């Protein structure tokens, strides 16, 4: 299992470097006038959130591995409440993804530069919650689907939607320009909250979608919803009939 | 152990039922387990033993009915129930962390053992189940029996008030089995109640204070191993070798004893008597022969095992089994 994570991390790191040093560098020469000079930094910050998201949701695959070995039943028999169990798993997954993405965050900070240390601390704290929430969401979906194949396909689609309809790669004004529906979705997307906050934390403030406070509230809500939903789904789906 | 009025039920199931789609894995089970006993839960494959254990330990929810564990309803207060229990699963559940020591240390930590106590117990139990040497091996590389040893070690370290052990010694070698049996007895002697689900009838016989036999999700019979063995008609066997030939008179007298269900003459000087309550009946048999001046050369007794009990009852329907038990109690 650990080996698989090492593999994942090495691959993601290569992907990150490719995105930044090829795509980011080239595409930032291609952007409209308003984004000239800042798009590269904007893009690097967004890509970090994309990484954090995709590594956090990877924990869902662990669920299938555990289910295969019946470890679920064991966890459900331990003297802890369902809430503690789900929280433990999502926080564990979040911390792990933070540790893995940490070095890349350091690279990003070196590229973008830091102006307001306090903002950065606030932003990173909120990103912790974001990572826990993404792990919780992934666990919830994995437990609800109970099928590794379907989980894999759904997460692929969800990844495409949640990243494309967010401000990871482009500011909200351009999304709005394309479609109000897209913009509406992006406005309520946890990935948008996280991207906004991280950019605010590193001082890229030109194209924020919302105030940092709203973004923080959005992330807190994201975290609580998936912890709560996670507990409910755990109880319904697993205690109802075990894992088949 | 059974029947004592001062013993209280620590587990009580009330029409406990679990359906998986249209299969009733556990079907209106009413069972009561006393505080401080080792209760053997027997039954053919698929009888519903594991499903019962999983419901009692709040891992799965009943479809119908409920159960009280300690003073708590498994439906309403599952968190309280989980604080009382520990499980050794039928299939060892260890594969997501790396070594036996990690598995057990983590388990003990989650169960709330303080650091010093935890270290001491983990070491002690790893030694007891002969896994100390292998404590740093990857669990992936352990043999089936070794995994099972780690699985039972969890409960032995945790020492819960109520321990469910599902096939605790399956795949474990003979010496290991005896060691583990002793540790299970010791756990009971220290005040735990143990529910032992097993297909090894010898294990159930030597360990259990009482046993219940499940079949198709219901409880067929439930009593001490002794009573159950006595409850099968003609379950005991006595072989008698005489100096002279047995007379019709003595055979008639023996047949008039209600405990004796059948007598087979192997040859005129050797008899095979099928009976119940062997301890009480053998003196009467000896008296009958001596009275008629028929000296006995040798007597060989054999007892029915739980195997016989199991085969006898699981061949019956639930109604028939309950009828038999009631009749047996009336006779005894
Ligand atoms: N998760 C499940 N989904 C569907 N059916 C199940 C599930 N778990 C158990 N069953 C069914 O319930 C019945 C009882 O199974 P259970 O595992 O409780 O039997 P058991 O008495 O423990 O048997 P064994 O001696 O083989 O361990 C079986 O018919 C089994 O197929
Ligand atoms: Mg079983």
For residue B27, what is the domain's CATH number? 3.40.50.300
Whether B315 maps to a domain, the answer reads: no
Task: Say if ligand 1 is within 6 A of residue A242 CB.
Answer: yes
Whether A186 maps to a domain, the answer reads: yes
What is each CA distance from A223 to A220, B80, B128, B165, in whole angstroms? 5, 27, 45, 38
Nearest CB neighbour to B59, from listed A66, A69, A239? A239
Output the average pLDDT for chain A. Answer: 88
Segment B62-75, tens digit of pLDDT = 999 999 999 999 99
Q: Which range has the top average pLDDT, A25-39, B182-196, B260-274?
A: B182-196
Whether B97 maps to a domain, the answer reads: no
Judged by a CB distance cut-off of 8 A, whether residue B20 touches chain A is yes
Judged by a CB distance cut-off of 8 A, whether residue A86 touches chain B is no
What is each CA distance from A201 to A4, A112, A126, A188, in whole angstroms? 32, 11, 10, 20
Whether A89 maps to a domain, the answer reads: yes
Pair (B187, B79) in one structural domain: yes
Residue contact A79–B82, C-beta within 8 A: yes
Task: Say if ligand 1 is within 6 A of residue B198 CB.
Answer: no
Of A131, A132, A156, A155, the residue nearest A142 (C-alpha): A155
Pair (B224, B165) in one structural domain: yes
What is each CA distance from B330 to A98, B9, B217, B324, B325, in whole angstroms? 71, 25, 27, 10, 9
ipTM of the complex: 0.78
Nearest CB neighbour to B60, from listed A78, A80, A239? A239
Task: Say if ligand 1 is within 6 A of residue A88 CB.
Answer: no
Q: Which helix (H) or strand (E) segment is B166 a member of? A: strand B162-166
Distance of CA B212 to the CA centre of its chain: 7
What's the rounded Cα separation, in Å, for the pair A206 and B108? 52
Structural domains in chain B (count): 2
What's the rounded Cα separation, in Å, for the pair B40 and B203? 9
* Residue A146 lies in domain: 2-237
Chain A residues within an 8 Å CB radius of B61: 239-240
CA angle centred on B138, ends B134 and B143, rounded to 5°:
65
Of B44, B24, B54, B38, the residue nearest B214 (C-alpha): B44
What's the rounded Cα separation, in Å, for the pair A75 and A85? 8
Whether A160 maps to a domain, the answer reads: yes
Rounded to the nearest angstrom, the distance between the alpha carbon of B46 and the centre of ligand 2 is: 7
Chain B residues within an 8 Å CB radius of A81: 79
Task: Select from B214, B229, B244 the last residue of a domain.
Answer: B229
Whether B45 maps to a domain, the answer reads: yes
Residue contact B82–A78, C-beta within 8 A: yes
Q: So what's the pLDDT on residue B332? A: 42
Judged by a CB distance cut-off of 8 A, whether residue B72 touches chain A is no
Residue of B nearest to A236 (CA): B61
Whether B136 maps to a domain, the answer reads: no
* Residue B191 lies in domain: 9-84+160-229
Segment B211-240, tens digit of pLDDT = 999 999 999 999 999 998 888 777 788 889
Q: What is the mean pLDDT of residues B262-280?
A: 84
- Where do we find the tokens 């695959």? A61
Pair (B177, B213) in one structural domain: yes
Structural domains in chain A (count): 1
Judged by a CB distance cut-off of 8 A, whether residue B265 touches chain A is no
Q: Are B57 and B46 in contact (CB under 8 A)?
A: no
A75 Cβ contact partners less than 8 Å away, ≥ 6 residues apart: A66, A85
Whether A244 maps to a domain, the answer reads: no
Closest atom of ligand 1 to CA, residue B46:
19
Q: Is the pLDDT of residue B1 over 50?
A: no
Whether B53 maps to a domain, the answer reads: yes
Residue contact A79–B110, C-beta within 8 A: yes
A90 by Cβ neighbours in 10 Å (0-12 / 13-18 / 19+) ranks as: buried
Picking from B23, B50, B57, B79 by the largest number of A CB atoms within 10 A of its own CB, the best residue to mutate is: B79
- Where do we find the tokens 């809500």? A221
What's the rounded Cα separation, in Å, for the pair B261 and B266? 16
Closest atom of ligand 1 to CA, residue A243:
1
- The residue whose C-alpha atom lies closest to atom 17 belonging to ligand 1 is B50
A185 by Cβ neighbours in 10 Å (0-12 / 13-18 / 19+) ranks as: middle
How many percent of chain B have pLDDT more than 90?
63
Distance of CA A61 to the CA centre of its chain: 15
Whether A197 maps to a domain, the answer reads: yes
Segment A60-88, tens digit of pLDDT = 888 888 777 778 889 889 999 888 888 88
Pair (B291, B176) in one structural domain: no
- The residue whose C-alpha atom lies closest to atom 12 belonging to ligand 1 is B25
Task: Say if ligand 1 is within 6 A of residue B45 CB.
Answer: yes
Whether B148 maps to a domain, the answer reads: no
Parts of chain A with a pLDDT under 50: 1, 244
Which CATH number is B284's domain given?
A: 3.30.70.100
**What tokens were used for B167?**
């096939």
What's the rounded Cα separation, in Å, for the pair B310 and B221? 10
Cβ neighbours of B331 (radius 10 Å): 13
End-to-end CA distance of chain A: 21
Q: Please, which pLDDT band fits residue B118 given cuts at 50, 70 and 90?
A: very high
Rounded to the nearest angstrom, the distance between the alpha carbon of B25 and the centre of ligand 2 is: 11
B80 by Cβ neighbours in 10 Å (0-12 / 13-18 / 19+) ranks as: middle
Q: Please, which pLDDT band fits residue B2 given cuts at 50, 70 and 90?
A: very low
Task: Select from B198, B229, B260 the last residue of a domain.
Answer: B229
Residue contact B82–A73, C-beta within 8 A: no
What's the rounded Cα separation, in Å, for the pair A59 and A94? 9
Whether A242 maps to a domain, the answer reads: no
Chain B residues within an 8 Å CB radius of A65: 96
Rounded to the nearest angstrom, the distance between the alpha carbon of A231 and the centre of ligand 2 is: 28
DSSP state of B246: P
Rounded to the nearest angstrom, the distance between the alpha carbon of B198 and the centre of ligand 2 is: 8
Protein residues with C-beta less than 5 angstroms from the ion ligand 2: B 49-50, 90
Of B50, B27, B63, the residue nearest B217 (C-alpha): B27
**What tokens were used for B45?**
């494959």
What's the rounded Cα separation, in Å, for the pair B112 and A79? 9
Judged by a CB distance cut-off of 8 A, whether residue B52 touches chain A is no
Cβ neighbours of B9 (radius 10 Å): 13
Judged by a CB distance cut-off of 8 A, whether residue B117 touches chain A is no
Whether B134 maps to a domain, the answer reads: no
Pair (B297, B165) in one structural domain: no
A165 by Cβ neighbours in 10 Å (0-12 / 13-18 / 19+) ranks as: buried
Q: Please, which pLDDT band fits residue B303 given cuts at 50, 70 and 90?
A: confident
- The residue whose C-alpha atom lies closest to atom 6 belonging to ligand 1 is B20
Whether B74 maps to a domain, the answer reads: yes
What's the rounded Cα separation, in Å, for the pair A194 and A124? 9
Pair (B67, B173) in one structural domain: yes
Q: Are A45 and A111 in contact (CB under 8 A)?
A: no
CA angle centred on A157, ends A154 and A159, rounded to 5°:
105
Distance of CA B232 to the CA centre of its chain: 17
Q: So what's the pLDDT on residue B104? A: 95
Cβ neighbours of A73 (radius 10 Å): 23
Whether A161 maps to a domain, the answer reads: yes
């Amino acid at each position: 299992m650990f080996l698989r994570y090492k593999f994942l991390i090495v691959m993601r790191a290569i992907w990150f470097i490719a995105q930044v040093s090829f795509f980011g560098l080239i595409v930032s020469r291609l952007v409209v006038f308003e984004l000239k000079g800042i798009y590269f930094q904007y893009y690097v910050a967004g890509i970090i959130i994309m990484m954090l998201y995709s590594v956090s949701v990877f924990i869902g695959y662990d669920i299938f591995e555990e289910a295969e070995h019946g470890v679920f039943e064991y966890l459900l028999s331990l003297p802890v409440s369902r809430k503690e169990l789900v929280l433990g798993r999502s926080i564990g997954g979040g911390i792990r993804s933070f540790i893995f993405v940490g070095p890349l965050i350091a690279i990003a900070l070196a590229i973008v530069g830091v102006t307001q240390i306090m903002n950065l601390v606030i932003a990173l704290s909120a990103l912790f919650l974001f990572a826990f929430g993404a792990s919780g969401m992934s666990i919830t979906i994995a437990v609800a689907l109970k099928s590794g194949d379907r989980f894999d396909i759904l997460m692929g689609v969800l990844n495409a939607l949640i990243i494309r309809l967010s401000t990871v790669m482009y500011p909200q004004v351009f999304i709005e320009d394309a479609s109000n529906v897209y913009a509406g979705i992006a406005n309520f997307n946890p990935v948008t909250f996280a991207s906004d906050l991280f950019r605010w934390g590193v001082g890229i403030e030109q194209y924020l979608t919302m105030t940092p406070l709203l973004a923080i509230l959005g992330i807190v809500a994201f975290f609580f919803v998936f912890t709560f939903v996670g507990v409910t789904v755990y109880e319904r789906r697993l205690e109802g009939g075990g894992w088949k | 152990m059974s029947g004592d009025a001062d013993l209280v039920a620590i587990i009580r199931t009330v029409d406990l039922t679990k359906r998986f789609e249209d299969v009733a894995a556990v079907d209106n089970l009413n069972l009561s387990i006393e505080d401080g006993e080792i209760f053997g839960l027997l039954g053919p494959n698929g009888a519903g033993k594991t499903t019962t254990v999983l419901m009692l330990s709040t891992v799965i929810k009943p479809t119908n009915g409920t159960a009280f564990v300690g003073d708590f309803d498994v439906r309403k207060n599952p968190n309280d129930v989980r604080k009382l229990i520990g499980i050794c699963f039928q299939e060892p559940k260890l594969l997501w962390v790396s070594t036996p020591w990690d598995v057990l240390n983590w388990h003990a930590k989650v169960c709330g053992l303080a650091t010093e106590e935890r270290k001491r117990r983990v070491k002690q139990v790893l030694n007891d189940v002969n896994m100390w040497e292998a404590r740093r091996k990857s669990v992936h590389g352990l043999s089936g029996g070794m995994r099972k040893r780690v699985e039972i070690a969890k409960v032995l370290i945790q020492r819960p008030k109520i321990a469910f052990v599902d096939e605790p010694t399956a795949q474990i070698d003979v010496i290991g089995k005896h060691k583990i049996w002793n540790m299970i007895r010791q756990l009971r002697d220290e005040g735990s109640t143990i529910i032992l689900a097993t297909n090894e009838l010898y294990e159930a016989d030597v360990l259990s204070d009482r046993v219940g036999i499940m079949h198709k999700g219901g409880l067929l019979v439930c009593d001490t191993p002794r009573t159950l063995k006595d409850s099968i008609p003609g379950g005991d066997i006595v072989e008698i070798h005489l100096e002279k030939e047995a007379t019709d008179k003595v055979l008639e007298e023996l047949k008039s004893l209600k405990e004796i269900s059948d007598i087979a003459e192997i040859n005129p000087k050797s008899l095979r008597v099928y009976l119940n309550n062997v301890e009480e009946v053998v003196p009467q048999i000896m008296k009958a022969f001596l009275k008629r001046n028929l000296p006995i050369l040798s007597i060989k007794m054999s007892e029915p095992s739980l195997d016989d009990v199991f085969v006898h009852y699981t061949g019956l329907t639930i109604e028939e089994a309950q009828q038999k038990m009631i009749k047996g109690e009336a006779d005894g």
